[in-house]
Each structure stands twice: as C-alpha cells, then as structure tokens.
Structure 1
Amino acid sequence: MYSPAYSALSAIGNTPFVQLRNIVPPQCADIFLKLEYLNPTGSYKDRMAQAIIEEAEQRGTLRPGMTVVECTAGSTGTALAFVCAVKGYRFRVISSDAFAKEKLQSMRALGADIQLVPSEGGRITPDLIPRMIGVASELAQHPENYWTHQFENRDAIEGYRKMGREILQQCPAGVNVFLAAVGTAGMLSGVSLELKQVSPGTQVIALEPAESPLLTQGVKGNHSIDGVGVGFIPPLLSAETYDEVRAVPEAQARETARLLAAREGIFAGTSTGLNVAAALYLGCQLGPGYTVVTVACDSGMKYLAGGLFDY
C-alpha cells in the first residue's frame, strides 16, 4: 500500500521510459523515449525548478518572503510557478508573446506575475532571449528578489542528473546514443554526466533547429520551437558533456510531433518532435543492435492554440 506524499513536489521524476514501435522503420536501432511530459506541470523543467529552488534555500540565498524572478519561454516558468506555489514564494516571470499562449496561461494559473517582452511578429529572434534576460537582470538588483538565472545556474544540472540515473535503471542493457535539443543545456549536461560516468563510450548529441544553426554553423536565425535555439551558446553547455551537434529542420520537427501523436499515442510538443526526428534518422544510420535514447520534453496540451496540431 502506498502512503500519501508530503506535497505535490513528490510527483516530480520517475517518469516512464518507452520504446517507439509504430513509426520506427525496419532495420533501425531501438529508439526509446523518456516521457518527461508526465511530470506535474507537463515538462522536464520541474526537475530543474525543484533543484534550483531547494539548493538556494539550503545556501540561504532564497529565504521566506522573497520573490523569485526568471525569464522563460514558458515551461521553466510554469515549473518554477508550481514549485513557488507549493513553497509559498511570490514569482515574477519575464516572458514574451512569441511563446505558446497555453504556457503563459499556466504560469498565471499557478500564481505568477508575468511581464511580457514584445517579439517581432511572434518569432523567436536572436535578440529576444537576451532582451528578456536584461529585464530579469534589472529586477534581480532588488535585495528581496532571487533570480534563478536558469542559463547559468549549475544547480539545474544536479536536478537533471537524477534523470540520467533513472535512464540507466530503465535501460540496463546500456545506452549507445543519447540526444536532445539544447535550450539552457542543463538537461543534456546532467544526463550526459551520469551516462558517461557509467559508460564513457556513450555518444551524446546536442540538437538545434536548422533555422538557427548557431552550434553547427555559428549562424543565428529565427524559428518557432519554444525553449531551444536561444540565440547564444548556453554557459551550461560544456565540451566534455557532448560529442556532436546536429541540426533538424523545424518542419520535420513539427511533422514528427504530429506523427508521434497519431501513431504512437505520445502527445508532445515541437522540441520532442525535433528530438525524435533526429533519433529516427540516426537510428537508421546505426541499424539494429544499437540503442538510441531521447526525451519527450513537454506535453502537446501546451501547443493546441499554436497550430502544431492543426490539420
């Protein structure tokens, strides 16, 4: 018999790990997907939010009565709003009209105070995230505000290392390749550290939108995939945590997200489509006998108003 959890935070993590079967071509490697959209707010960002808040509490840099501040495309903000609601902190979020409306609504529902930075035609341009960071930096000057600083906060990596340990437990035969789209790079780095600690030969591949190939070509660009391709090289992305970078066209990411829903029953967003598109391509290159693992980042419920699932 299960006993009651102390709080809703206990629901973070220990997400399912499933093998894709219906969209995987013949003579392809085994493709596994970690269903992170089954965390409480529908994304893996819950892991990061809990880690950076609780580490700050332990250091004494975040104390009762203070306000938490962050700039976010939405999933981080929703996760932080959730953790702050449980723990009783006020939360001030800097976001933009470029991001999914559902994510903004979720943050408000969880008690966040939202300030929007206007975009250029609803697109994620190279200057958008830096402008949002600038607003958050100004708010952080107030002594009663705590800026979680997701792009540089290494506490996030510790939150994601647990995810890496879960993958190792759920895939005892071993992981040949792990790949994931890069936003803050905290998830890729945390999972990579755990996988490579057990098996240094595991290949870790960072992914980005082909429309903004900063990591692969040094070129910034515009795209509409929330939470990735942020317009600068994230400080948490270190050379020792990944082996290669690949770019995936946004159209392919969107088509794969729709295919996942229709053929696998996995209802996830555009960044998940990007991850799985790259996993399928690589799996076909490797062939049978290999194991490729990636992540379902967040729920498709966050994208219903944005046209991803309009047919």
Structure 2
Amino acid sequence: MRAPGVDASALAAIGGTPLVRLRTLLPPGSGDVLVKLEGGNPTGSYKDRMARAIVEGARERGDLSPGQRVVEYSGGSTGSSLAFVCAVLGHPLSIVSSDAFAQEKLDTMRALGADLTVVASDGGAITPDLFRRMREAVDRIVAARGSWWVDQFENRDALLGYAEMGREIIAQTDAAGLRIDAFCAGVGTAGMLAGVASALRALPHRVRVVALEPTESPLLTRGTTGPHHVEGIATGRIPPLLGDAHDEARAIDEAEARVLARRLAREEGIFAGTSAALNVAAALQLAAELGPGSTTVTVATDTGLKYLAGGLFRD
C-alpha cells in the first residue's frame, strides 16, 4: 500500500499493512474473517502507530521539547515502539517494564536505546498490582529527571494513529467489494479499539464493535480481575480511552488462544502472539454467529518472533 520511492525516515514505514482472509480455520457455515497483519510495522507491532502519533503530537504542541527525555511504563510493545520513534526523533527514553513480559521485548527496547527499569512480578503473572508498581517507578523517574510522561492510558493522540488503521481497513475491504459487519480486538489501553471504531463510524452502516479480554481477568464482562499471561491487554482497569467505543465485551480463554496461536502459524501462516490469537478466536465466534456472507475484521497485533523464547510455539 505504500508509495514507491525513498522515504525521509523509518517513520514512513509505519502502516500500510496487509489485510488477509483466513483460509482453513473457519468452521462450515461461517462468514469471512479478515486479519490485519500489524507485524509488518518496523518494530513488528501495531503500537508503532500509537507511538508516532503521540510523540509527534506532543512535539507539535510544544509539550515535548527537542531532546527532552520521554518516559513510560510498558509490557514491551509500546516501549519498543516508543524506543523506535524516539531513536528517529532524537529523544532519550526511559521505560519501566517487568519480567512478566517477553524477554525479546525487553531486549528490543534496550537495542533501540531505551534506558530500562525492570520491576519484579509475582511469578511472571500480569496483575493490577504489577502495573501500580510500574507506574510508581515512572513517577520517580519523572520527578528526578524532568522527563515527559507519555501516559498511554489517557493520551488521546493514540486514537489518531489507530484511526488511520481503521481507514486502511475500510479502503481494503472497499477494494475487495466487502462490507464490514463486525470488528473485534483486545483491550489494553483501548486506543486501538476506540481509534478503529471512530473510523468505522463514518461508514453508512453500523459495524458491531466487540471489546475482548481473557476469561482469567474478566473486568469488562464480569467486573473482576485476576492474574493472566496475555501480554498487552487486561491491565486490571477500565481504560478511559474505551469510552463508548464498543457494543459488547467478550472474554476468551487464554489456553484456547495459546493453542490457536500455534494453529494460526502452522495452518494459516499467520505468525503472531497470544493476544493476536485471542482476537482471532473471538472473530471466529462472531463469524459463526453472523453466518455466510458476513465479514468480521480483527488484528494480528504483532509478530510471533517476540515470543519464541517463552514456549508459546512449543508443543
């Protein structure tokens, strides 16, 4: 989708990712499932869209001065994307993360120049308390180093980056002569779900938007939280960016998503992590409910290369 020629910087490589149809995993009598392959972004993650929108927005408003340090807490994908954008734009970066997240993500942040603080988890579990302690570490860095805090859970510039993803999906389905009936995605900061939903609302028909979470931490569906291992979603709080972006919420079993991640790789050639597989599991449910002739869209949020050391793809 990108124009030919020479780009001014690596930031121009963000976006323009493929939208592909599942071929083998659909049960009989289902509608189509289309998957946006965000692993094609420079850091292998959809978060590149958010990081560019947030940093460029802050620079344009004067909230972030040239050369000023940026700080955020992250499970890894946001941190990697921020490290990439800050490397291009010349900002030092401090990231607070944890050993609960993939080692590949921590290594990527360091490789791109981030100063990394690692907060110990409780046995590798992702819990609300872990995020609280990570946030406290961010506050200490901001106070000590005069940094600009990204605040990804509140920063509405993220919606602009993800709205562009929504417009890409509309253009791609229009080109194929398809009508989008449903869109589903996991909720972390909710920026992607809300941003894409804002673009889909421009369509002349109503698109069903479904917010997803693991059954192990069903805050949106049951009002309770719990430890889980699906990186990037279910942080133990209802994110402010979610607002009224969704029509319904669904919980998907983490174990089911892990099995599906392996099937996606081996049967569809879609190489992605557990959160992406959770998205596809929900999309398969929706496609079965909506039936033949329908189109459900979801997102493979990253690349499976980030999860090779953790055993996701080992039987």
Q: Which amino acid aligns with 1:277?
A: A
Measure how far apart 1:142 and its partner are.
4.9
Match of 1:80 in 2: 82
Q: 2:184 aligns with which of 163, 179, 182?
A: 179
Match of 1:271 in 2: 275
The answer to whether the Cα contact below 8 Å between 2:97 and 2:119 also exists between their aligned partners in 1 is yes
Measure how far apart 1:200 and its partner are.
4.9
TM-score (norm 2): 0.96
Measure how far apart 1:129 and its partner are.
1.2
Secondary structure of the 2:128 match is coil
**In the aligned structure 2, how far is the partner of 1:158 from the partner of 1:56?**
13
**In the aligned structure 2, how far is the partner of 1:9 from the partner of 1:64?**
17
Q: 2:202 aligns with which of 193, 197, 200?
A: 197
| 1:3-82 alignment, distance < 5 Å | 3-82=5-84
| 1:227-268 deviation line (CA, Å, top 9, x unaligned) | 1010111111102x1100000000011111111000000100
**In the aligned structure 2, how far is the partner of 1:35 from the partner of 1:160?**
14
Match of 2:212 in 1: 207
Match of 1:107 in 2: 109
Measure how far apart 1:140 and its partner are.
2.4
Number of paired residues?
310
Match of 2:241 in 1: 236
Structure 1 stretches lacking a partner, 5+ long: none
Match of 2:284 in 1: 280
Give me the identity figure in percent: 56
**In the aligned structure 2, how far is the partner of 1:62 from the partner of 1:247?**
38
TM-score (norm 1): 0.98
Secondary structure of the 2:226 match is coil
Match of 1:305 in 2: 309
**In the aligned structure 1, how far is the partner of 2:99 from the partner of 2:204?**
42
| 1:37-77 deviation line (CA, Å, top 9, x unaligned) | 11000010000000000000001111122100000000000
**In the aligned structure 1, how far is the partner of 2:86 from the partner of 2:280?**
32
CA RMSD of aligned residues (A): 1.1
Structure 2 stretches lacking a partner, 5+ long: none
Q: Which amino acid aligns with 1:138?
A: R
